[in-house]
Amino acid sequence: MKARIYHNPSCSKSRAALTLLEARGVELEVVDYLNDPPSKAALASLLDKLGVPAQALVRATDQELTTLLAGGARTADRVLDLLLQQPSLLQRPIVEAGDRARIGRPPERVLELFE
């Protein structure tokens, strides 16, 4: 099965997940989402595959999130728009395979897609 990883090469968790997948021989499409951000449709698809609230796509520890979402509803549409404007806020890594996806926190979680 081919998989796609939304990867930030500067992130240790993202690098660890990538290494785990490569060691298992998973055929990967690596998306450097900082240089090639996903579209709103791609983000919405990820959200469906993850089965989590939209805010789960955003790095919870990022102080910028609180500022950017202050004073407004935290709807899925607003969160996706925020990620389009600030792709660095995207949780990482995210791996999708077929109709499922996992956030790699911890990195070993992505292996659930291949069990």
Active site residues: 11
Specify the amino acid at residue 47: L
Q: Which residues make Cβ contacts (< 8 Å) with residue 21, sequence separation at least 6?
A: 3, 5, 28, 95, 110, 111
Is 25 exposed, middle or buried, given 0-12, 13-18 or 19+ CB atoms closer than 10 A?
Answer: exposed
CA distance 31 to 14: 11
